[in-house]
A and B are shown apart, each in its own frame.
Chain A
Amino acid sequence: MSAALDTHGKAHDGHDDHGDHGHHTPTGFMRWVTTTNHKDIGTMYLWFSFAMFLFGGAMAMIIRAELFQPGMQIVTPEFFNSMTTYHGLVMVFGAIMPAFVGFANWQIPMMIGAPDMAFPRMNNWSFWLLPPAAILLVASFLVPGGGAGVGWTMYAPLTTQMGPGMDLTIFAVHILGMSSIMGSINIITTILNLRAPGMTLMKMPLFVWTWLITAYLLVASMPVLAGAVTMTLTDRHFGTSFFNAAGGGDPVLYQHIFWFFGHPEVYIIAIPAFGVVSQVIPAFSRKPLFGYASMVYATSSIAILSFMVWAHHMYVVGMPVAGQLYFMYATMLIAVPTGVKVFNWVATMWKGSLTFETPMLFALGFLFLFTLGGFTGLVLAMTVVDVQLQDTYYVVAHFHYVMVAGALFSAFAGVYFWFPKWTGKMYDETLGKWHFWLSIIFFNVTFFVQHFLGLAGMPRRIPDYALQFTEFNQISSIGAFGFGLSQVFFLYIIIKAIRSGEKAPQLPWDGADTLEWTHLPTPAPYHTFENPPTVK
């Protein structure tokens, strides 16, 4: 590895050995407030998202506890509705999205040979907008009327009936949107302008490609969401009637605007997950990624198609048959590039030399379960079948397969994979494997049975249900409690690894071949690639 260190030329031993800047660096809390370092900011994003993940998870536990048996036992119906609402909002905007921005911050500069992000101060601000947004979300539980019970989709005109908690939520969404847009602009600029000499676009690691595409999706779709919630705000307080038929508006207009954001949003979450998996699977197969170019094209196709399928969330709203047919065909078409990706991952493993450390296990868990979620997506794309399944637990099962087993498992894979590079420590492999097996088993106990509930017609977002749904709900709740505990176990694994993990070797994974592994010491020093490497 000494050769790799030579190319870097400026390996430092620790964080504090960079006094060649000639200015004072704050320490303690102020270091984190004022930092413009992509690694610090990436770390903060990851810890923030994990805190939000536990908060959103706690709400899921309340939901599953209430649904453990028929009848109302623990919470009121209004509070239950606010639980489903904030569970969704916190997980989507607070946990999964910032987690992948955290990966982007840490990894993109190191993977393309850049010293930092293109706009370090804006990067700082992108992160520090998140805590106020989280505070607004939490505060909406404390104002009169409590949290808004409208679902994470915030459909009009139900939103006009809510208390001030709704307004706080709208402002939180505004702030989260600003943060995402700034983060995306930063990522796009970094990737397009700060690549090392020789790092052409088609030589970039796939993780970088997926984030470039995701960042464009974010820039294009977040303003649409901001518009939708702003119209909701003016309908609530300033007498406008965007979504009020009595004033000449249309409640369905909200859904069109929301899902024009909402469907790309699904891929904003999924595409960086594809990126992580596309780094992990080749590394543990000791074989290059199969079909790199087709991966790039497939990801781009998915991104473009994601803007053309929004109304498949609205089949029962009452559209003309021609509209339903169009959205059905366009939705089914997404299966083609998605299939290409799955086939490429499998072909990458084919005739490799596979080992199954924790990152690989989570990547395989992703591959298996995300594909199942894709299959149910294909079922839901069929308009007439969707009429039976829309707004039932089948949909809940479907999107948890793609969001949890998809995005979350991929994030776990990424954390275990890059943990040695970030910290210089190894996690406990046995515990990591336990975390994987507990997660995948309890995940399926929780969500697989929800397919059956949906097929039998149990609506989603109800705090109480008819007796025939009891058994599957009990199984699902038990699985959910197990899944929740497994994630607390993950926190333990990480803390244990940080405090007393073994020292990581320079290259812990044989097959890892991107710049951060080949050209930088482990752990990565505070400043990297102050002189760009040359990529052949």
Chain B
Amino acid sequence: MKKIGGMAGAMLLSLYAGASSAAWQLNLTTGATKSTQVIYDLHNLMMWIILVIFVGVFGVMFYSVYAHRKSVGHKADQFHENTTVELIWTIVPFFILIAMAWPATKALIDLRDTSNPDMTVKVTGYQWKWGYDYLKGEGEGISFVSQLSTPQAQIYGTETKGENYLLETDRHLVVPVGKKIRVLTTASDVIHAWNVPAFGVKQDAIPGFVRDTWFRAEKEGIYRGQCAELCGKDHGFMPIVVEVVSAEKFSAWTGEQKKAMAAAADDPDKKWELADLKARGEKVYAANCVACHQANGQGIKGTFPALDGGKITTGPVKGHIDQVLNGKAGTAMAAFGKQLSDTEIAAVVTYERNSWGNKTGTVVQPSDVKAARK
């Protein structure tokens, strides 16, 4: 008996745990910024007003359904207009709307004020990852690309899904707590949208244009979001992870990043051997090319061309470098010139020309790419 009671208790507890977790979230996210609280309060106010109208209108309707049925012998009146009533229900809603518009206007003006930031970060949407450049303030000059780190095996069900399934990235955007961060958004290919619900931020990233938004995180922690504008095949697989840390931790992090960037910088004049370059190129390929052209270089028939035996990957090397640098207009092939260094482009071109069935034997040096950039 005791055992059964215990089991029932455990089940109830687990139900409660389920109900209190994010799984059954019924209202907007709040907490990390003041903006989210403003939005949350405004939304709740709206819901109260709506509830009152709802009860009023449908109270009358359901009363009518209940009391004015033919089956209870109700005889129909034949009135069909009443100017006073009609005027009242045209004018009163006006005032209700003004009551709603007042706080909404105030909130909008406050929330759109991106002036006087402590730090500015540029966010660039790529198919299908985010580029971050620290433009102004501490950490200036740090630049990296962040992409989904959930393994394919979890997506295709051969592995158990982790806690932050689809909401985890290899690199986090790290920002200090309590500072006003201005975010400039842009994109290199199609429109994306940078969206972190916990900050109350969503801003389209538009190729060729720069837009801005801002947030000031009040609490340290890790906050997650996703691209919010349909941007092609892997739209659902380009999450955003922002790590809010203390000022000290942030300084330490920027120091580390700068050191790491200096160490990782390739000597652009180095002469590479085929094997080394191919190994490096495989990594670049896995990070940038594999989503469309696939690991086996076969692409996806009709959408993304095969590189194995492809016209460009086995044709003149100049055309190949040009394609990777500048992309191909009118297709999903992006211009990687701005995202990748000379060494990386040299490596990936070499890799593509010497992998699968491609046996051109070409070794592209970083200096070749540098020359092609002009």
Tell whether, in the assembled complex, residue A161 and residue B232 are in contact, meaning their CB atoms are under 8 Å apart. Answer: yes
Across the interface, name the chain B residue whose C-beta is closest to A151: B230
Interface assignment of B338: CB less than 8 Å from any CB of chain A = no
Nearest Cβ on chain A to B65's Cβ, whole angstroms: 6
Interface string of A454-465 (1 = CB under 8 A from B): 011101011111
Compute how far the CA of A149 lies from the CA of B303 in the bound complex, rounded to whole angstroms: 11
Tell whether, in the assembled complex, residue A384 and residue B104 are in contact, meaning their CB atoms are under 8 Å apart. Answer: yes
State the interface size on chain A (CB cutoff 8 A): 98
Tell whether, in the assembled complex, residue A350 and residue B157 are in contact, meaning their CB atoms are under 8 Å apart. Answer: no
Nearest Cβ on chain A to B20's Cβ, whole angstroms: 12
Nearest Cβ on chain B to A362's Cβ, whole angstroms: 14
Across the interface, name the chain B residue whose C-beta is closest to A254: B191
Mark the stretch among A205-213, A257-265, A325-333, A494-502 that contacts chain B: A325-333
Tell whether, in the assembled complex, residue A468 and residue B25 are in contact, meaning their CB atoms are under 8 Å apart. Answer: yes
Tell whether, in the assembled complex, residue A457 and residue B29 are in contact, meaning their CB atoms are under 8 Å apart. Answer: yes
Compute how far the CA of A470 lies from the CA of B23 in the bound complex, rounded to whole angstroms: 7
Contact of B161 among A71, A144, A472 (CB under 8 A): A71
Tell whether, in the assembled complex, residue A158 and residue B65 are in contact, meaning their CB atoms are under 8 Å apart. Answer: no
Across the interface, name the chain B residue whose C-beta is closest to A249: B208
Tell whether, in the assembled complex, residue A382 and residue B100 are in contact, meaning their CB atoms are under 8 Å apart. Answer: yes
Interface assignment of B297: CB less than 8 Å from any CB of chain A = no
Tell whether, in the assembled complex, residue A354 and residue B81 are in contact, meaning their CB atoms are under 8 Å apart. Answer: no
Question: Which chain B residues lie closer than 8 Å to A372 at the CB level?
Answer: 54
Tell whether, in the assembled complex, residue B303 and residue A163 are in contact, meaning their CB atoms are under 8 Å apart. Answer: yes
Residues in B152-194 with C-beta less than 8 Å from chain A: 154-157, 161, 163-167, 185, 189-191, 193
Interface assignment of A482: CB less than 8 Å from any CB of chain B = no
Tell whether, in the assembled complex, residue B206 and residue A317 are in contact, meaning their CB atoms are under 8 Å apart. Answer: yes
Interface assignment of A172: CB less than 8 Å from any CB of chain B = no
Compute how far the CA of A384 lies from the CA of B202 in the bound complex, rounded to whole angstroms: 10
Interface assignment of B281: CB less than 8 Å from any CB of chain A = no
Question: Which chain B residues lie closer than 8 Å to A21 at the CB level?
Answer: none
Compute how far the CA of A160 lies from the CA of B54 in the bound complex, rounded to whole angstroms: 45
State the interface size on chain B (CB cutoff 8 A): 105
Interface assignment of A224: CB less than 8 Å from any CB of chain B = no
Across the interface, name the chain A residue whose C-beta is closest to B29: A457
Nearest Cβ on chain B to A351's Cβ, whole angstroms: 4
Interface assignment of A184: CB less than 8 Å from any CB of chain B = no
Interface assignment of B306: CB less than 8 Å from any CB of chain A = no
Tell whether, in the assembled complex, residue A324 and residue B61 are in contact, meaning their CB atoms are under 8 Å apart. Answer: no
Residues in A141-180 with C-beta less than 8 Å from chain B: 143-146, 149-151, 155, 157-158, 160-161, 163
Contact of A81 among B23, B46, B235, B300 (CB under 8 A): B235
A71-B161, A471-B23 known; A289+B86 contact, CB < 8 A: no
A158-B231, A329-B101 known; A391+B193 contact, CB < 8 A: yes
Interface assignment of A466: CB less than 8 Å from any CB of chain B = yes
Tell whether, in the assembled complex, residue A385 and residue B46 are in contact, meaning their CB atoms are under 8 Å apart. Answer: yes
Nearest Cβ on chain A to B50's Cβ, whole angstroms: 5
Across the interface, name the chain B residue whose C-beta is closest to A372: B54
Compute how far the CA of A285 lies from the CA of B234 in the bound complex, rounded to whole angstroms: 53
Compute how far the CA of A399 lies from the CA of B94 in the bound complex, rounded to whole angstroms: 24
**A289, A325, A354, most chain B CB atoms within 10 A:** A354
Tell whether, in the assembled complex, residue B107 and residue A384 are in contact, meaning their CB atoms are under 8 Å apart. Answer: yes
Tell whether, in the assembled complex, residue A290 and residue B81 are in contact, meaning their CB atoms are under 8 Å apart. Answer: yes
Tell whether, in the assembled complex, residue B68 and residue A354 are in contact, meaning their CB atoms are under 8 Å apart. Answer: yes
Residues in B221-243 with C-beta less than 8 Å from chain A: 224-237
Compute how far the CA of A146 lies from the CA of B301 in the bound complex, rounded to whole angstroms: 10
Tell whether, in the assembled complex, residue B207 and residue A157 are in contact, meaning their CB atoms are under 8 Å apart. Answer: yes
Interface assignment of B116: CB less than 8 Å from any CB of chain A = no
Interface assignment of B38: CB less than 8 Å from any CB of chain A = yes
Interface assignment of B135: CB less than 8 Å from any CB of chain A = no
A354-B64, A467-B161 known; A339+B89 contact, CB < 8 A: yes
Interface assignment of A490: CB less than 8 Å from any CB of chain B = no
A385-B46, A388-B200, A466-B167 known; A287+B80 contact, CB < 8 A: yes
**B71, B202, B206, B230, most chain A CB atoms within 10 A:** B230
Compute how far the CA of A465 lies from the CA of B166 in the bound complex, rounded to whole angstroms: 7
A385-B42, A463-B236, A466-B167 known; A150+B93 contact, CB < 8 A: no
Nearest Cβ on chain A to B220's Cβ, whole angstroms: 20
Across the interface, name the chain A residue whose C-beta is closest to B226: A459
A364-B65, A456-B29 known; A78+B43 contact, CB < 8 A: no
Tell whether, in the assembled complex, residue B165 and residue A353 are in contact, meaning their CB atoms are under 8 Å apart. Answer: no
Interface assignment of A73: CB less than 8 Å from any CB of chain B = yes
Question: Which chain A residues lie closer than 8 Å to B27 at the CB level?
Answer: 455
Compute how far the CA of A290 lies from the CA of B60 in the bound complex, rounded to whole angstroms: 15
Interface assignment of B6: CB less than 8 Å from any CB of chain A = no
Across the interface, name the chain A residue whose C-beta is closest to B19: A471
A321-B109, A349-B68, A462-B235 known; A71+B228 contact, CB < 8 A: no
Question: Which chain B residues lie closer than 8 Å to A144 at the CB level?
Answer: 301-303
Compute how far the CA of A352 lies from the CA of B64 in the bound complex, rounded to whole angstroms: 8
Nearest Cβ on chain A to B163's Cβ, whole angstroms: 7
Nearest Cβ on chain A to B23's Cβ, whole angstroms: 5
**A149, A250, A289, A459, most chain B CB atoms within 10 A:** A459
Contact of A346 among B36, B47, B61, B228 (CB under 8 A): B61
Interface assignment of B146: CB less than 8 Å from any CB of chain A = no
Across the interface, name the chain A residue whose C-beta is closest to B334: A161
Compute how far the CA of A63 lies from the CA of B29 in the bound complex, rounded to whole angstroms: 26
Interface assignment of A335: CB less than 8 Å from any CB of chain B = yes
Interface assignment of B70: CB less than 8 Å from any CB of chain A = yes
Residues in B335-350 with C-beta less than 8 Å from chain A: none
Question: Which chain A residues lie closer than 8 Å to B301 at the CB level?
Answer: 144
Contact of B303 among A78, A353, A378 (CB under 8 A): A78
A455-B28, A457-B29 known; A292+B94 contact, CB < 8 A: no
Question: Which chain A residues lie closer than 8 Å to B236 at the CB level?
Answer: 77, 459, 461-465
Tell whether, in the assembled complex, residue A71 and residue B225 are in contact, meaning their CB atoms are under 8 Å apart. Answer: no
Question: Which chain A residues lie closer than 8 Å to B43 at the CB level?
Answer: 379, 382, 385, 388
Interface assignment of B115: CB less than 8 Å from any CB of chain A = no
Interface string of B55-70 (1 = CB under 8 A from A): 0011011001100111
Interface assignment of B16: CB less than 8 Å from any CB of chain A = no
Nearest Cβ on chain B to A155's Cβ, whole angstroms: 6
Contact of A328 among B23, B104, B189, B197 (CB under 8 A): B104
Question: Which chain B residues lie closer than 8 Å to A236 at the CB level?
Answer: 330
Question: Which chain A residues lie closer than 8 Å to B195 at the CB level?
Answer: 391, 457, 459
Contact of A146 among B76, B108, B302, B332 (CB under 8 A): B302
Tell whether, in the assembled complex, residue B58 and residue A368 are in contact, meaning their CB atoms are under 8 Å apart. Answer: yes
Residues in A295-335 with C-beta less than 8 Å from chain B: 316-318, 321, 324-325, 328-329, 332-333, 335
Compute how far the CA of A349 lies from the CA of B77 in the bound complex, rounded to whole angstroms: 10
Tell whether, in the assembled complex, residue A251 and residue B191 are in contact, meaning their CB atoms are under 8 Å apart. Answer: yes
A287-B77, A325-B108, A383-B108 known; A332+B101 contact, CB < 8 A: yes
Interface string of A427-457 (1 = CB under 8 A from B): 0000000000000000000000000100111
Across the interface, name the chain A residue whose C-beta is closest to B110: A384
A328-B101, A452-B25 known; A390+B228 contact, CB < 8 A: yes
Nearest Cβ on chain A to B243's Cβ, whole angstroms: 18
Interface assignment of B74: CB less than 8 Å from any CB of chain A = yes
**A143, A321, A382, A390, most chain B CB atoms within 10 A:** A382
Across the interface, name the chain A residue whose C-beta is closest to B91: A336
Tell whether, in the assembled complex, residue A77 and residue B233 are in contact, meaning their CB atoms are under 8 Å apart. Answer: yes
Compute how far the CA of A290 lies from the CA of B165 in the bound complex, rounded to whole angstroms: 55
A-B contact pairs, 11 of them (CB 8 A): A251-B207, A287-B76, A318-B212, A321-B112, A343-B57, A352-B64, A354-B69, A375-B54, A391-B195, A391-B229, A467-B165
- Give me the 5 closest cross-chain CB pairs, A-B, nearest first: A245-B208, A462-B236, A318-B211, A144-B302, A457-B197
14 additional A-B residue pairs with CB within 8 Å, beyond A385-B42, A391-B195, A468-B21:
A151-B230, A294-B81, A342-B57, A343-B89, A349-B61, A355-B71, A356-B69, A364-B61, A379-B46, A379-B47, A382-B43, A385-B39, A452-B24, A459-B228
